[in-house]
Amino acid sequence: MLSVNSNFPEYAVPGAKQVRFEPYADNGGSVVAIAGEDYAVIGADTRLSTGFSIYTREQKKLFKLSERTVLGATGCWCDTLTLTRLLQARMQMYEHEHNKAMTTPAVAQMLSTMLYYKRFFPYYVSNILAGLDADGKGCIYSYDPIGHCERSTYRAGGSAGAQLQPLLDNQIGLKNMQNVTEAPVPKEKALALLKDVFISAAERDIYTGDCIYIIIITANGIQEEKFELRKD
Amino acid sequence: MAFMGDMISPSPLWQNGPSPGAFYNFPGNSNHGPLSHINQDFRAHSAAPITTTTTVIGIKFDKGCVIAADTLGSYGSLARFRDCPRVLKVNDLILLGSGGDYADYQYLRDIIEQKIIDEQCIGDGLQLKPKSLHCWLTRVLYNKRSKMDPLWSNYVVAGIQDGEPFLGAVDKLGTAYEDAAIATGMGAYMATPLLRDVLDKGPLNEESAKALARKCMEVLYYRDARSFPRYQLGVVTAAGVTVEEPTEIGQNWTLAHMIHMK
């Protein structure tokens, strides 16, 4: 934005510098989700930080939206809080109107619309939605902050997303490997991989660590698990 | 976001000239103030803290919470106002502490106090609970930040929620979290390690939590240049809320000669 100083350089004086208000903060955190034939697992770390300081070591970043849909959200925490609260309200309105719970693909589409509605003042949030679709198959939807949406079977997002995605590409997508046959990922393997992947992230990314919460979504409902990470 | 600034006020057509769509006035010859000259940052006055307060500390213990904060209102680097109390008893369940712009705190304090009065007038015996106030503050601060007109302050909400201690923080963006130890401002760097160190060793009782808060206020006084030796301590338990009269830090500078700054 223009200021007196840039328009009247002759009046500019060295001295008190005005810091412009920055409405966004990067509060870090990572999310990883893996979908299988009849399940979906999603995990997120519990560190909430800003710059070099940690606000808290026990902030859950997974939101149980329904019996078969879970959202993992990281980025600007104040936007995450607002977005998820709005999302929960919209899902309740849907339920009252249609007398049934929203399916995961329906939530996925609504989230995309809600993000794009704020196209020119976006929610600075990296979202990953995990759940079961109408056929009971595991599904993952990932987003950019302004509402681009893509369905996939595995995804890493958040501050360590760029470090973790290639690892998942190799281990689950079987990319860059020869003589491999594709097979559905069993739930136990997905869980073990999820933990390994977060251990690696905690080693390299200062915004990821402390603990992870993992949610396992199957036709029988939602199960929660906790796993400790390094706390430095 | 740089691109937003460019949209709102385009760069001038030539050096010192008007920006597209704006009137041109010579500096010092304007009847309309700086606003009509160019689209400058007309809200800049509210987008910076003026009279500021420093750290506020919150600690959770087995049966409640303590909040501590000094009473200095700084005007830049000038220690201008020496009696700015900022530990507030909201009702019998909630204790509130604030740091940052003092005027913004006073503004919100008046609104909160009116909320409590309105609630008492209903007379149903129900009281605002700490989680509700914490959530309300989140929305107020987030809405202000979304208008790019923030209330430049942090809040620590302590209280008793359904018999259990509650301690939460909200910053000027509406970033909200709960934790057993909270310190804002400079305290985030200097007091949080001390607090977490003690809390990792096990739960505290009221006396040890108060002692810890006093220790942190002392450490902060020695190192934070915007701090003050006079501070207030508030405690909330199921028995109610008490805010102590300001107390002085017992200073000891006998070690000072051993510190050589070369």
What does pLDDT average to over chain B?
Answer: 89
Shortest CA distance to A161 belongs to which of A127, A120, A121?
Answer: A127
> Where along chain B do its domains lie?
51-242
The amino acid that residue A93 corresponds to is M
**Residue holding tokens 């005005």?**
A18
Mean pLDDT of the region B118-124: 96
Q: How far is CA B239 from CA B68, B94, B116, B244, B245, in A?
A: 19, 12, 19, 15, 19
Domain topology for B51-242: Glutamine Phosphoribosylpyrophosphate, subunit 1, domain 1 (3.60.20)
State the nearest Cα–Cα gap between B185 and chain A, in angstroms.
Answer: 11
Task: Judge: B174–A27 Cβ closer than 8 Å, yes or no.
Answer: no
Q: Indicate whether A13 belongs to any domain.
A: no
Shortest CA distance to A164 belongs to which of A192, A201, A199, A213?
Answer: A201
Kindly report, residue by residue over B145-185, the tens digit of the pLDDT. Answer: 999 999 999 999 999 999 999 999 999 999 999 999 999 99
Q: What is the pTM of this model?
A: 0.86
State the nearest Cα–Cα gap between A86 and chain B, in angstroms.
Answer: 12
User: Helices A161-171 and A187-204, interaxial angle, to 10°?
Assistant: 150
**Residue holding tokens 């009473």?**
B71
Within an 8 Å CB–CB cutoff, is residue A56 touching chain B? yes
Contact A229, A199 (CB under 8 A): yes
Task: Identify the CATH number of the domain in which residue A139 sits.
Answer: 3.60.20.10
* Residue ranges of chain A with per-residue pLDDT less than 70: 1-5, 9-19
Separation CA A120–CA A145 (nearest Å): 11
Percent of chain A with pLDDT over 90: 90
Q: Is B89 exposed, middle or buried (0-12, 13-18, 19+ CB in 10 A)?
A: middle
Output the furthest CA–CA distance in chain B (Å, rounded): 68
Separation CA B230–CA B251 (nearest Å): 11
pLDDT of residue A13: 63
For residue A113, give both structure tokens: 């619309």
Within an 8 Å CB–CB cutoff, is residue A167 touching chain B? no
Kindly report, residue by residue over B237-254, the tens digit of the pLDDT. Answer: 999 999 999 999 999 999
pLDDT(B188) > 60: yes
Count of structural domains, chain A? 1
Nearest 5°: phi and psi at B237? -135, 180
C-alpha torsion sign, points B34, B40, B42, B44: negative
Within an 8 Å CB–CB cutoff, is residue B77 touching chain A? no
pLDDT of residue B14: 72
pLDDT(B44) > 60: no
DSSP letter assigned to residue B124 = S
Contact A143, A153 (CB under 8 A): no
Separation CA A28–CA A47 (nearest Å): 8
For residue A67, give both structure tokens: 């019996």
Q: What is the ipTM metric for this complex?
A: 0.90
Which residues form the domain of A213? Answer: 25-229
Shortest CA distance to B209 belongs to which of B190, B230, B181, B232?
Answer: B181
Task: Judge: A81–B174 Cβ closer than 8 Å, yes or no.
Answer: yes
For residue A153, give both structure tokens: 């079977």
Task: Judge: B40–A2 Cβ closer than 8 Å, yes or no.
Answer: yes
